[in-house]
Structure formats: structure tokens, C-alpha cells
Structure 1
Amino acid sequence: MSEALAQMILPLRFDQSYSFDNFYDEDEFVLHALVSAIQSPAEHFVLISGGIASGKTHLINASAAFCQKNGIAFQYFNAEQLMQYGSDIITACSESSVLLIDDIQLLAGNSEWERKLYDLYNESQRENWIFIAACKKDNLASFELKDLCSRLDSGFQLTLDSRDETTLKKIIEFRTHLLGLSINKDVLNYLFSHYPRDLKQQLNLIKKLSERSLVQKRKLTIPFIKATME
């Protein structure tokens, strides 16, 4: 890989819309655990696992934002982008305090990348830096390198629960309050019965509605939503 190419694609940009402050964590266990892992690590490998839309990507990106805000050297990668390149794209991890890789299950079955993950895990133990990875729940078994499986399974694990409709509504309510607005149960029920229940789409909808609400100085009501979205 040429130096020019490496500089163009490294480091990969994390999504700055995610933070620990806007992650809904009812008892804040996950947030406290991640902050502790980054600031005062007892373990050098942390695995964040969970199902679709459970918050894995949010936490990986929020960890990057936390590192940036607190002056902690880090590298962030998304496995989907990494698959386009050779494993030598990740170098000199010892120069960073934290390495973050999202969706590592996408690298399963790729012998070059499985070996790289294995080496990165071992390097983090030897050289005293933190490796935090996110993986779709129950996908560790899809890795063919068994030594890698055992290592990934041996670190500190944060398993995120699947989000049912009740939890999704709590997240929407929480994020709406962060935008400086209130939302009642009738409005929440309306949103979930008239629009896709996908969390990302719901959050985008709330963002759009909140912007219109602030401009027009109106509360989030069903008539307002109907008028805005029609």
C-alpha cells in the first residue's frame, strides 16, 4: 500500500453524532464499564456484542468520541471498510492507547484478517493498550481460527440486550428530551404505528420534527406531526 493511500484512508472517521451522553442505558452499567475500560483498564480486550440495532455501533463510535474529547490517542476502524484493504492498513497500534473496530464478524472467514485480529489481540496484551471490538451476537463461532475465537471469548464482555418496543420508545423519549422537547405516550404510539419501527429511522424522524417544532415554536403533537409530514 502506498503512503499516499494510507494517509487518505487512515484514520477512518467515526460518526460524531454518537456519544456516551446520548446513549440510553437505563442503569448506566455499560457506560460506566466502557469509561473504566478506557481510562483505568483491568482488561486489555473488550468485546461489545448484541443483536441488530442493539447499540454496538453507537458505543464504538461514542468510545472514539470520548477518546477524542479527553485527549486519548486512538484508532477507529469499521470492518466493512477494512475488508477492501490488506491487513497492513492497521499498523503501529502501540502508538495509540485505544484501538476500536466495529463489526468484526464481517472479517470472519478471511484468513488474513483473522490472523491480524489474533495478532492485534496478543499485541494489546504485550504492549499495554486497549482493544475494543464490536461483534454481532453469537457470531464468534463463525471465525475459523480457533485460537482467535478463544481469545475473543476470554476478554471482558459487554452483551447488549435486544431492544423491544418498550425500550425503543424509551430511547426515543430520551433522545427527544436531549433535543429540548417533550413527547407523550400518545405521540410515541402514533409514531410507532404510522412509521417504520426501525430505531435509526425513528431518530431521524424525531430530529426532523424537532427542528420544525423549534422553528414554528410548536409542541410535538399528533396534529403537528400530520401537518409536518404530509
Structure 2
Amino acid sequence: MRHRRSFSNFIAGPNGGAVAVLRDLLDAGRGGLVYLWGAQGTGKSHLLEACCGDASLGGRRVVYVPLGDAHLEPAMLNGLAETALLCIDDADRIAGNREWEEALFHLYNEAELASSPMVVAASVAPKRAPWRLADLASRLAAGVVWRLRPLDDGARRRALQVHAAGRGFTLSDEVASYVLKHLRRDMGSLFTFLDRLDHSSLAAQRRITVPFVKELLDAADERRR
């Protein structure tokens, strides 16, 4: 079971400023827009989930919309503006789709009228996405725009250990360093592997050690051949 993502288990590294900006938005108790952008695995979705968790305290209504979900339709954005927090993930995934862009533009305007704070996440800066609606691009760029940077190896190691602790197991420095050396460096891929490692160790009733991790990686390589 995936542990809840929060500000307390987000390893900020070079992104401490983004955390401060988001906390200021939540503490202000009024409208405003923060636009987060960065490569895959830099923590965008983690921060959106953390914002939702904080904003929902006391039973307040929050809305999280993952625009990368192909099952969603533009009409689903109707009536979402009056909320304690509105989070839009993968916003650039709908860039170039006029119907979606108009729906997001209207939602932005409604949220502004309702003084509902809004956090938007995307893989590119607001003016770099291929928007067809210029007004939407300018609205998104008018907020606080913050780029999330990748973690260095020390922060990645710490993030892996915090993620492991959230799942209920300990990841030694030795194992964490081995994982970083032999897997892709983006945090999404690393966390996915840790989840698989946890399941495999429980199924095999084995401690999580470097030899066990090596066996798991070797087995995965064999299946790909």
C-alpha cells in the first residue's frame, strides 16, 4: 500500500523554495496560482498531493484533476471552482486540444472569482507548451511559476530511505547506493522499483540486502532477453 505523500516526506533538495511558495499559498486563505514545472520524477505530483492533504484538514473540499488520464472529459471541469484548493496535474497534456483548453480557461476564471487557490503542474513552462488559446497561456504564466530541479545523489538516497520507511522497511545506505548505481535516476522509476522490492522481499521472506537486490535485477534482465 502506497504511503501518503506529504510535505514532511518530500525531500526538497534544491526545491525548498517551491515548498515555501506552496505553503504560503495555502496559508494565505485566498486565491492565487502557483505553476510548477519540471521533468518527470522531480516531485510535481507529490507536491500536489501534499497540498491537497494540508488543504483538506478540517474536512474542507479539495479537488485534484490528473489531466493525463485519458478517461477524463472537458465537461468534468465544470463546477469545480468553489473549493479550498484546486490542483491540476499534467496540464500540458491537454495543450493543443481547443475544447480542453477552453474548459481549463473557464475553470481558471471561475476559481479566480471564487478566490480559490490553484496549483497547476506540467512538464514544461507555461509559455513553452503548444497552447492554442493564448489567453490561457498568459493566465498560467501570470501566476507564480516555479521550476522543480532533479535531486543530487545524496538527496535521492535520502528520498529512497524515506519512501522505504513509509512502506515499513529500512533501506541501508549500502542498498540505496546500489539501487542508484544500477537503475534509472528519475524518482518515479526508483520508487516503483522500491515498491517491487518490498513485495518481493515479503514474498521470499528475505531481508533487503545488496545480494537480494542484485538477484531481483538479474531476474528482470533475464525476462527482457
CA drift at 1:155: 0.6
Normalised by the length of structure 1, the TM-score is 0.75
Which one of 178, 188, 200 corresponds to residue 176 of structure 2? 188
Q: Distance in 2 between the 1:96 and 1:170 partners?
A: 34
- Per-residue CA deviation, residues 109-167 of structure 1 (Å, 9 max, x unaligned), is 11122122222222222221112111112353311211211111111223211334444
Q: Please give the residue correspondences for 1:33-44 in structure 2 after superposition, counting only pairs within 5 Å.
A: 33-41=21-29, 43-44=31-32
Q: Please give the residue correspondences for 1:122-141 in structure 2 after superposition, counting only pairs within 5 Å.
A: 122-138=109-125, 140-141=127-128
Name the counterpart of 2:75. Answer: 88
Q: Distance in 2 between the 1:83 and 1:149 partners?
A: 24
Mapped contact 2:40–2:188 kept (Cα < 8 A)? no
Q: Distance in 2 between the 1:162 and 1:205 partners?
A: 18
Q: Distance in 2 between the 1:124 and 1:153 partners?
A: 16
CA drift at 1:35: 2.8
Name the counterpart of 1:12. Answer: none
| 132-141 or 35-44: bigger deviation | 35-44
Mapped contact 2:126–2:137 kept (Cα < 8 A)? no
Amino acid at match of 1:54: T
| 196-205 or 113-122: bigger deviation | 196-205
- Per-residue CA deviation, residues 22-66 of structure 1 (Å, 9 max, x unaligned), is 211137443333233123246521111111211111212222233
Mapped contact 1:60–1:100 kept (Cα < 8 A)? yes
Q: Distance in 2 between the 1:227 and 1:116 partners?
A: 49
Q: Is residue 120 from structure 1 mapped to residue 132 from structure 2 by the alignment?
A: no
Q: Distance in 1 between the 2:215 and 2:75 partners?
A: 53
Q: Is residue 155 from structure 1 mapped to residue 155 from structure 2 by the alignment?
A: no
**Aligned with 1:24: secondary structure?**
coil
Gaps of 5+ in 1: 1-14
Amino acid at match of 1:147: D
CA drift at 1:194: 3.2
**Aligned with 1:105: secondary structure?**
helix
**Aligned with 2:42: secondary structure?**
coil
Mapped contact 2:45–2:89 kept (Cα < 8 A)? yes
Q: In structure 2, do the counterparts of structure 1 residues 159 and 194 end up closer, same or farther at CA, with 3 Å as the change threshold?
A: closer
Q: Is residue 77 from structure 1 mapped to residue 65 from structure 2 by the alignment?
A: yes
Normalised by the length of structure 2, the TM-score is 0.77
Name the counterpart of 1:104. Answer: 91
What is the alpha-carbon root mean square deviation over aligned residues?
3.1
Q: Distance in 2 between the 1:207 and 1:154 partners?
A: 38
Aligned-residue sequence identity (percent) comes to: 25
Gaps of 5+ in 2: 220-225
Name the counterpart of 2:131. Answer: 143
Q: Distance in 2 between the 1:109 and 1:83 partners?
A: 18
Q: In structure 2, do the counterparts of structure 1 residues 25 and 101 end up closer, same or farther at CA, with 3 Å as the change threshold?
A: same
The structure with higher relative contact order (CA 8 Å, sep 6+) is 2
Q: Distance in 2 between the 1:201 and 1:190 partners?
A: 15
